[in-house]
Amino acid sequence: MKQSQYKIKTLKEAPKDADNVSTALLSRAGFIDKLAAGIYTFLPLGYRVLRKIENIIREEMDALGGQEILMPALHPKENWEKTGRWGSLDVIFKVKSRASQDYALGSTHEEIVAPLAKGFINSYRDLPLYLYQIQTKFRDEPRAKSGLLRTREFSMKDLYSFHTDENDLDRFYEKAQKAYDKIYKRVGIGKETFKTYAGGGSFSKYSHEYQTLTSAGEDEIYFCEKCQVAINREIIDEEKKCPECSAVKDKLAVYKAIEVGNIFKLGTKFSHPFELSYLDKNGQKQEVVMGCYGIGPSRVLGAVVEVRHDERGIIWPEEIAPFKIHLILLSREAKVKKLADKLYDDLIKEGAEVLYDDTDDTAGVKFANSDLIGLPYRVVVSDKTVEKGGVGLKKRRDSAEKIVKVKEIIKLMAK
């Protein structure tokens, strides 16, 4: 993408209401634009990252055997009345229609997926079944804040699993955890993200959150070094020890963290009101046992920036960077420009993702913007690098630039 054609507007100052690092950097670097409190537009760079995160999640859900569907955001009131949550879940937006009944704007989809699954499930042979979607959710958040971390409209992957019994749910619940570990590793926050014990509702003792440790987090979690798991405040206040090794609360470290996912054994909580059942091997009707597994790609995007940045800007992990290479031309010489143009074309031909700063900005502006945007590799073509026989290569997280021959850079950067 040539910046002469696709203008990226960066800002010197963060918007005044940016109340954390990720919002400041993502706004300054031209990834997001705030429309209203808790409501953001994804600009071209930001949308590229969002789609990459969504695709990683999609791949891991497919590998689990998940089938991708797309459920609506408009939910009939009657579905939510059936579970009693029309009145009790106060973050659901309610929509009046001139033409029809009232709707809820989906903040979660158990009320939709349970009756939907009735069309798929008759006998034990139809189970297990795994349905997921990547879809826009809405929450009437009383305190929208922290940029992408707490919004009123956000991208969400929600997987729902359907089982004959609790044992089968338990088996899948373990597998889903491995998929979640892979996702956090691939998006670049694997080391900072931990499975966290959380309240379980009526069906199981615990549910689990995934929490990413960062000083910007609004959650406080207790961390057991020995088990490499975390415990949320609610559980620790009750149990006062690690649920795995029984280490007492005082032995646990306390960290700030951002919740970046949650998984939950639902049991028959939703299959019961919607009469979602199956015929077992003996022809007996049984209630289906369910699990649900959420992860918010837009919130993950914010969390990655909270963890991966320095004082100059964002440091994107390679697998979700909007582009791999920031190619920067620093010359008014036609010969040098020609060389940079050809390098751009050759890299594109090799399948590399390149952002090409071919604008007339000064070197200072180009370098500052490049650090702010934070692509993994910076490749500089200038009179000086050409004199030295090549281009200047620097990783975003390193400080030293080295001269590399043009041929070699193409080999290094090929997809």
The pair of structure tokens assigned to 146 is 């922290």
Q: Which of residues 139-178 bind a second copy (CB under 8 A)?
A: 140-144, 152-153
Determine, following the binding rule CB under 8 A, whether residue 100 of this chain makes contact with a second copy. yes
Concatenate the DSSP letters of all residues of 250-287 into one string. Answer: GGSEEEEEEEEEEEEEEETTTTTTTT-EEE-TTS-EEE
Determine, following the binding rule CB under 8 A, whether residue 276 of this chain makes contact with a second copy. no
Minimum distance from CB of 104 to a second copy (Å)? 11
Judged by CB under 8 A, which of 43, 247, 279, 410 binds a second copy? Answer: 43
Q: Which is nearer to a second copy, 153 or 209 (CB)?
A: 153
Q: Which is nearer to a second copy, 151 or 196 (CB)?
A: 151
Instruction: Count CB neighbours of 135 within 10 A.
Output: 16
Determine, following the binding rule CB under 8 A, whether residue 36 of this chain makes contact with a second copy. yes
Judged by CB under 8 A, which of 18, 23, 25, 42 binds a second copy? Answer: 42
Determine, following the binding rule CB under 8 A, whether residue 105 of this chain makes contact with a second copy. yes
Q: Which is nearer to a second copy, 136 or 228 (CB)?
A: 136
Contact range with a second copy by CB under 8 A, out of 31-39, 217-225, 284-292, 311-319:
31-39
Determine, following the binding rule CB under 8 A, whether residue 320 of this chain makes contact with a second copy. no
Q: Which of residues 177-236 bind a second copy (CB under 8 A)?
A: none
Minimum distance from CB of 414 to a second copy (Å)? 20
- Contacts within 8 Å (CB) and 24+ apart, 230-236: 230/194, 230/195, 230/196, 230/197, 230/255, 230/257, 231/196, 231/197, 232/196, 232/197, 232/198, 232/199, 234/198, 234/199, 235/197, 235/198, 235/199, 235/206
Distance CA 320, CA 52 (A): 5
Determine, following the binding rule CB under 8 A, whether residue 253 of this chain makes contact with a second copy. no
Q: Which is nearer to a second copy, 9 or 178 (CB)?
A: 9
> Is the distance from CB of 404 to CB of 352 less than 8 angstroms?
no
- Coil, strand, or helix at residue 202? coil
Determine, following the binding rule CB under 8 A, whether residue 70 of this chain makes contact with a second copy. yes
Q: Is 188 left (phi over 0), alpha (psi -120 to 50) or beta?
A: left
**C-alpha R_g of the chain:** 25
In Å, how far are 110, 269, 309 from 83, measured between CA atoms? 10, 9, 43
Judged by CB under 8 A, which of 9, 171, 205, 407 binds a second copy? Answer: 9
Count residues near a second copy (CB under 8 A): 55
- Quick one: 139 exposed, middle or buried, by C-beta within 10 A (0-12, 13-18, 19+)? buried
The pair of structure tokens assigned to 305 is 């920036």
Q: Look up residue 288 and give its DSSP letter.
A: P
Contact range with a second copy by CB under 8 A, out of 66-74, 203-211, 323-331, 342-350:
66-74
Contact range with a second copy by CB under 8 A, out of 81-89, 111-119, 166-174, 212-220:
111-119
Q: Which residues, other chains included, contact 167 with Cβ-Cβ below 8 Å and sequence gap of 6+?
A: none
Judged by CB under 8 A, which of 19, 55, 64, 68 binds a second copy? Answer: 68
- Coil, strand, or helix at residue 89? coil
φ, ψ at 157 (rounded to 5°): -100, 125
Tell whether omega for the bond before 128 is within 30 degrees of 0, i.e. cis: yes
Contact range with a second copy by CB under 8 A, out of 44-52, 307-315, 319-327, 339-347:
44-52
Distance CA 402, CA 340 (A): 17
Q: Which is nearer to a second copy, 9 or 397 (CB)?
A: 9
Contact range with a second copy by CB under 8 A, out of 74-82, 225-233, 277-285, 368-376:
74-82
Minimum distance from CB of 409 to a second copy (Å)? 26
* Residue among 72, 2, 23, 5 at smallest CA distance from 303: 23
Minimum distance from CB of 242 to a second copy (Å)? 36
Q: Which is nearer to a second copy, 144 or 403 (CB)?
A: 144
Determine, following the binding rule CB under 8 A, whether residue 123 of this chain makes contact with a second copy. no
Q: Which is nearer to a second copy, 127 or 343 (CB)?
A: 127
Minimum distance from CB of 304 to a second copy (Å)? 18
Q: Which is nearer to a second copy, 101 or 228 (CB)?
A: 101
Q: Footprint of a second copy on this chain (CB under 8 A)?
A: 5-7, 9, 33, 35-44, 47, 50, 65, 67-76, 90, 93-101, 103, 105, 112, 116, 119-120, 126, 129, 136, 138, 140-144, 152-153
